[in-house]
Amino acid sequence: MKKTLVKNVKWQEAIKYAVLKTKHNLSLHNQKFPHISNDKCYEWGDNEDWIEGFWTGIVWLCYEYSGDEYLRLQANTQIDSFHRRLQAKHALEHHDIGFLYGLSALAGWIVEEDERHKLLAIRAADHLLGRWREESGLIQAWGPEDDPENGGRIIIDCLMNLPLLYWASIATGNSRYAEVAVRQAELSRKFLVRGDDSSYHTFYFDQSGNSLRGGTHQGYSDGSTWTRGQAWGIYGFALSYRYTGNIRFLETSKRLAVYFIERIPADGIVYWDFNVPVTGSTNRDSSASAIAACGILELLEHLEPAHPLRQRLEDAVMLTMTALAKSSMDMSQENEGLIDHGSYHVRGNYGLDGYMIWGDYYYLEALLRLEKQIPGYWYERDKSEPYHI
Ligand code: GLY
């Protein structure tokens, strides 16, 4: 990778700032989890949404960078909260178990090699496996099994929950988790990715697994390409490739990445949907930019040094990260987040312009990938070769 991309004084400053900000936030909001921001301050709540793992992931990243014992203790205390949540099966009737438990318990296992964290991550993978619907052959994203609207629905975000399953097969020797993950990735490749390399956010199937139609939840329209969904796809397929060695997943990640980078505006931060008419007031989604940067950095790890796409992909990461780092360096105390101008659900008129905790997580992960070769917590680091399940 280009030297300017990997070693950059801007990245170092941005990471140091993120560590300071994280410690400050922890001291103010002990035991609470940030969600999205209301103006400059996060809304802080209990561990009961899909996003709490991102905060714990940030704390782990900050600990790994700084070695600060306070951060290590805070991350471990947060894992206790995830333990209680799984025990009580509290607000877990959805597929986002990888986001929640990958960045808390699995991260804790990766960093600390603490067997309790490993067991918790395996139990979380069991819970995710429970969302596999054998008859329709899919992981149901949302709601209970008999949910009339969501019973046969998959979403592109789910690709980022599959690493927990792949990992669980390696950790336990039980191939069932990975079999399900591969089937879900294949289904997503066939139905969520369109012929022009854009993507549906969601897709519906009937009870026997017959395909019905594509649709959206957070995108501009059913047939549009929700920017964050495309970013989940870039990263998710690259990770499925890492675990399986299936070249089709690598090709899909590449296709989605090229579609994405061809639509990055000159100032570096994408709009919330690639099909939304752009005016002066169209919302951005900095979190999609940060996720795509991480996904492309993962993808680059699997491309040979002279690959014809490499330069374009590296340039896109540089453009994106420079723009994000600029927005993150506002040192004023009242700003609780790192990257501004994220959006959550523009179509639903919720979380239109502010900090999104997942955006902050992926931004920091991208910085640490660039600066320290710390790749987040989607896979264990002790193996230099792909797993090729
Ligand atoms: N996975 C939910 C979202 O990206 O909003």
**pLDDT digits over 320-371, tens only?**
999 999 877 776 777 899 999 999 999 999 999 999 999 999 999 999 999 9
In this structure, is residue 350 part of a structural domain? yes
Is the CB of residue 151 less than 8 Å from the CB of residue 140? yes
Distance separating alpha carbons of residues 217 and 192, to the nearest angstrom: 13
- The total domain count for the chain is 1
Distance separating alpha carbons of residues 249 and 238, to the nearest angstrom: 7
In this structure, is residue 379 part of a structural domain? no
Ligand 1 pocket, CB under 6 A = 157, 218, 228
pTM (predicted TM-score): 0.97
In this structure, is residue 385 part of a structural domain? no
In this structure, is residue 56 part of a structural domain? yes
CA distances in angstroms from 100 to 33, 51, 94, 265, 286, listed in the order given = 12, 7, 11, 31, 21
Is the CB of residue 358 less than 8 Å from the CB of residue 51? yes
pLDDT digits (tens, 9 = 90+) for 199-224: 999 999 999 999 999 999 999 999 99
Residue with CA closest to ligand 1 atom 5: 344
Q: Which pLDDT score, from 0 to 100, does residue 148 have?
A: 87
Read off the CATH number of the domain in which 186 is found.
1.50.10.10
Backbone φ, ψ for residue 154 (5° rounding): -110, 155
The residue to mutate among 52, 142, 157, having the most atoms of ligand 1 within 8 angstroms of its beta carbon, is 157
In this structure, is residue 122 part of a structural domain? yes
In this structure, is residue 2 part of a structural domain? no
In this structure, is residue 3 part of a structural domain? no
- Among residues 195, 106, 290, the alpha carbon closest in space to that of 97 is found at 106
Annotated catalytic residue, options 157, 285, 340, 353: 157
pLDDT digits (tens, 9 = 90+) for 154-171: 999 999 999 999 999 999
In this structure, is residue 381 part of a structural domain? no
Tokens linked to 89: 């099966």
Question: Is 96 a known active-site residue?
Answer: yes
Tell me, in angstroms, the distance from the centre of ligand 1 to residue 3's CA. 33
Domain around 205: 9-372
